[in-house]
């Protein structure tokens, strides 16, 4: 089989109700870059790149596409290494790797369709047939009623059946953050798992101070307490807190995660399949994590394609550690407005009582609705 074409679809949609995390960027539009890889046997594969879509499009179109035309999609690892070595001299992290991730996911989709097997069967099989999803939401919207809106939104997720949620913190005041976490914990009761995400807005002493208080609310993990560049800061925060410290959504490739794991800077690593190097690379990152007894619970923020790729990856992750009643890695199920997540696939990836079935159809196991690509494509 030979690759005959690579088409990148840049999508954008306006967000009616802007929201923000501690990063301070109010999301007013939502973008996506969908990669379509065509072959001479009529099989098409789909991929998804994380990050600003216009930049990813340029990387895919100008840097990656010329190197993979006429290649055999089954040579997925050979292609990964070739692309990585091609970008090596221009910076090894960030959106170049997102571009490679999108291509890699599309190649796995093609291989699965050609073999008539779902991707998880090709990467070692499924340790589970459904994955527990946690709702990511609880951003800051109405600054006048932050606690009320968070409690209402959290209650809504529990009513939908979610048994785990993640909320944003980082309001510039530890008291404000703790009041809002208390409001959410109060709204959801003691049995629903709660995680917090600071999007790296604290320095080390701030993170330790708020972390000690957050432990009183039975918070499962403290995500991105400090800046991703500050690995020594992560080590310090992780050692000083009892709760798990998570991070890594902005780290890339096995080389990037090697240092995090060697230093045991985080208790949970969160590579994004659409950013850190695709399925090929994330399997290696997960193996490195397992070798360090660190849990791998991927970050996910993309389209239905990224969601499906993440579910296959999650299905293939062994328990860490294996035991009688394990605590398997959960699926990040982002809940903000996103038609590319909800409408791009004609196959449903919705949850039932907080669990999502692992797709069993060939490849990613989803059917792309080209009408949605046409509707949201940037002219
Ligand atoms: Mg995060």
pLDDT tens sequence across 28-73: 899 999 999 999 999 999 999 999 999 999 999 999 999 999 999 9
Across 26-35, 63-72, 118-127, 131-140, least confident range: 26-35
Domain assignment of residue 87, yes or no: yes
**Do 358 and 130 touch, CB atoms closer than 8 A?**
yes
Buried b (16+ CB within 10 A) or exposed e, 87-122: beeeeeeebbbbbbbbbbbbbbbbbbbbeebbbbbb
Domain shared by 55 and 160, yes or no: no
Secondary structure (3-state) at 288:
helix
The number of folded domains in the chain is 2
First-to-last CA distance in the chain? Answer: 32
Does the residue 363 lie in any domain? no
User: Is the same domain home to 147 and 288?
Assistant: yes
Does a structural domain hold residue 271?
yes
Residue 325 CB-density burial (10 A; 0-12 exposed, 13-18 middle, 19+ buried): exposed
- Point out which residues pair with 219 in neighbouring strands: 194
**Nearest to residue 37, comparing CAs of 78, 90, 11, 74?**
74
Domain presence at residue 324: yes
- What secondary structure letter does DSSP report for 276? T
Cα 199 to ligand 1 centroid, rounded to whole Å: 6
> What Rg, from alpha-carbon coordinates, does the chain have?
20
Confidence of residue 91 (pLDDT cuts 50, 70, 90): confident
Q: Do 252 and 303 share a domain, yes or no?
A: yes
Query: Could you tell me the distance, in angstroms and rounded to a whole number, from the CA of residue 266 to the centre of ligand 1?
Result: 14
Q: Residue 218 domain-assigned?
A: yes
Same domain assignment for residues 20 and 60: yes
Known catalytic residues?
299
89 inside domain: yes
Residues 6+ apart with CB under 8 A from 221: 195, 196, 243, 244, 245, 246, 267, 268
Cα(6) to centroid(ligand 1), Å? 30
Residue 197 CA to ligand 1 center (angstroms) comes to 6
Q: What is the three-class DSSP state of 206?
A: helix
Give the single-character DSSP code of 261.
Answer: H
CA of 73 to the centre of ligand 1 (A): 32
Same domain, residue pair 74 and 32: yes
Are 92 and 162 within one domain? no
Digit-coded pLDDT (tens) for 344-357: 999 989 999 999 99
Task: Compute, in angstroms, the gap from residue 144 CA to the centroid of ligand 1.
Answer: 24
Residue 10 is inside which H or E element, if any?
strand 3-19
The range of the structural domain enclosing residue 97 comes to: 3-116+369-376
Q: Which residues are registered as beta bridge partners of 166?
A: 136, 195
Residue range 231-256: mean pLDDT, rounded: 97
Q: Is 267 domain-assigned? A: yes
Query: In this structure, are 110 and 126 located in the same domain?
Result: no
CATH number at residue 217: 3.20.20.120
- What are the tens digits of pLDDT across the range 148-202? 999 999 999 999 999 999 999 999 999 999 999 999 999 999 999 999 999 999 9
- Rounded distance from Cα 141 to ligand 1 centre (Å): 17
Do residues 35 and 151 share a domain? no
């Amino acid at each position: 089989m030979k690759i005959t074409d690579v088409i990148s679809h840049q999508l954008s949609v306006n967000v009616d109700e802007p929201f923000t995390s501690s990063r301070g960027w109010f999301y007013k539009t939502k973008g996506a870059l969908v990669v379509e890889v065509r072959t001479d046997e009529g099989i098409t594969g789909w991929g998804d790149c994380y990050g600003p879509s216009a930049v990813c499009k340029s990387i895919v179109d100008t840097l990656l596409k010329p190197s993979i035309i006429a290649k055999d999609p089954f040579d997925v690892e050979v292609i990964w290494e070739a692309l990585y070595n091609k970008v090596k001299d221009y910076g090894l992290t960030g959106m170049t790797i997102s571009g490679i991730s999108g291509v890699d996911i599309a190649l796995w989709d093609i291989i699965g369709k050609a073999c008539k097997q779902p991707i998880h069967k090709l990467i070692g099989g499924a340790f589970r047939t459904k994955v527990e999803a946690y709702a990511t939401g609880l951003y800051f919207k109405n600054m006048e009623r932050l606690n009320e809106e968070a409690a209402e939104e959290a209650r809504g997720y529990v009513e939908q059946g979610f048994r785990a949620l993640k909320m944003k913190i980082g309001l510039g005041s530890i008291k404000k953050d703790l009041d809002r976490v208390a409001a959410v914990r109060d709204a959801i009761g003691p049995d629903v798992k709660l995680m917090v995400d600071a999007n790296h807005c604290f320095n080390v002493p701030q993170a330790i101070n708020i972390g000690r208080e957050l432990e009183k609310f039975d918070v499962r993990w403290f995500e991105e307490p400090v800046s991703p560049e500050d690995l020594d800061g992560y080590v310090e925060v992780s050692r000083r807190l009892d709760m798990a410290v998570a991070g890594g959504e902005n780290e890339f490739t096995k080389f990037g995660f090697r240092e995090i794991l060697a230093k045991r800077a985080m208790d949970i690593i969160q590579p994004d399949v659409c950013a850190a190097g695709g399925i090929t690379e994330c399997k290696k990152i997960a193996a490195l994590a397992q070798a360090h007894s660190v849990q791998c619970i991927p970050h996910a923020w993309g389209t239905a394609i990224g969601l499906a790729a993440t579910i296959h990856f999650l299905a293939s992750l062994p328990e860490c550690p294996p035991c009688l009643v394990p605590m398997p890695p959960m699926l990040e199920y982002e809940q903000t407005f996103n038609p590319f997540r909800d409408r791009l696939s004609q196959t449903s990836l919705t949850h039932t009582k907080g669990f999502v079935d692992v797709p069993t159809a060939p490849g990613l196991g989803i059917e792309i609705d080209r009408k949605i690509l046409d509707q949201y494509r940037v002219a």
